[in-house]
Every structure is written in C-alpha cells, then in structure tokens.
Homo-oligomer: A and B are copies of this chain.
Amino acid sequence: MALGTEYDRQGCYLARALEVVGERWTLLIVRDCFYGVRRFSDLRAHLDISRAVLSARLDTLLDAGVLTRDDSGGHPEYLLTEAGRALWPVIYTLSKWGEHHTSGSHPTRIFSHAACGTDLDDHGDCPTCGHAPDPGELIVRPGPGHNPMRRSDRVARALEQPHHLLTPLDTRESAPERASRS
C-alpha cells in the first residue's frame, strides 16, 4: 500500500502485514509463486490481471522483500524470499477457510508432504510427521473439486500434474500437433 491512506497506525502488526499483502491480487500472485510461476507473462496468463497492476504489485512485493527479481538469464524471474516463503501458513489457512466456509467445498488442490506422501491436515501439519513441513517439501495435485474447464491457461494446465512447490513450473505447451504425432 504505502499509497493513499496508510492504515499503519493501528497498533497491531496485522495492519502492517495488510499494507504489504492486503491489496487486491497480491496474495494470488504470491500463491502462484509458491506454485513455481516465476515470469510476468505466466502470472498474467493465470490471473487475468492488468499489466499495469501486476507491475505495481510486483514492485510493492520487491520493495517489501517478499520477492526478489533475478535478471541473470534473459527475461526476469520473480522468486520468493525467505519472508515470502514465510507467507505459506497465511495462504494455506486462508485457502482452507475458503474451502470450508464458502459454497461448495471439494478441495480444488491437495497438498501432501513429499517425504512421506501424507496429505496435510487443515492446519497445514503432516499427520504422519506431526509438524508443518516447509512449503518446499510439499507436492500439489488437483483435488476432487478441480474443474479443468474453469481455467485453461498454460499455468492451469501445467498444474494438472502433481508439482513440487517452489520448483519452476514448466509452462511450455507440450506441442499437441507437432510432436508425438509424426
């Protein structure tokens, strides 16, 4: 935020957190970063967000130290910092709340602990190991509520396969007409 009206004088750190991640789109962008989305165009393809706003949000997240920008290879890549990865519990609990307390509720995505294969509980803990794994130790896969018709961009398609969080997501289409047909 930092723009317009600052509601940071609230004594509570909740307000501070909301200044960083409380704006429209911001948490969805961060969630996509957990999924391994790293590039501007992929974020746009998955979120249907205007270029100007995406650019502004990325700048805010860079300033806040939630993301870093890696310009080493051709097109820039946006990566979560440690502060960004610390947002995982927020995203997970909010997502679970949405699952339980909004209409219709079959999970669209399921998270499991890579080390033991167990699905996480509602608190984000691994029931087998008895603690909350770091997001980098998790695997996402589509759940029973998943409806592939809902979104059909390249990021959504890539996420139809189980994927290790925080590892880069391959959004290059698998060339349906050219390869494997010859």
A-side interface residues toward B, CB under 8 Å? 7, 9-22, 24-25, 27-28, 31, 47-48, 64-65, 83, 86-87, 89-91, 93-102, 105, 107-109, 123, 132, 146-147, 150-151, 156
How many copies of this protein are present in the complex? 2
Complex: A156 Cα to B9 Cα, angstroms: 12
A15 nearest CB neighbor, chain B only: B28
Known: A24-B22, A100-B86. Contact between A95 and B14, CB under 8 A? yes
Whether A14 contacts B98 by the Cβ 8 Å rule is yes
Whether A11 contacts B86 by the Cβ 8 Å rule is no
Q: Please name 13 further chain A to chain B contacts, defined as beta carbons within 8 Å, in addition to the given A18-B94, A21-B94, A89-B93, sorted by A numbering.
A: A7-B47, A11-B109, A11-B146, A12-B28, A12-B98, A13-B99, A14-B31, A17-B94, A17-B101, A18-B98, A86-B97, A90-B90, A123-B123
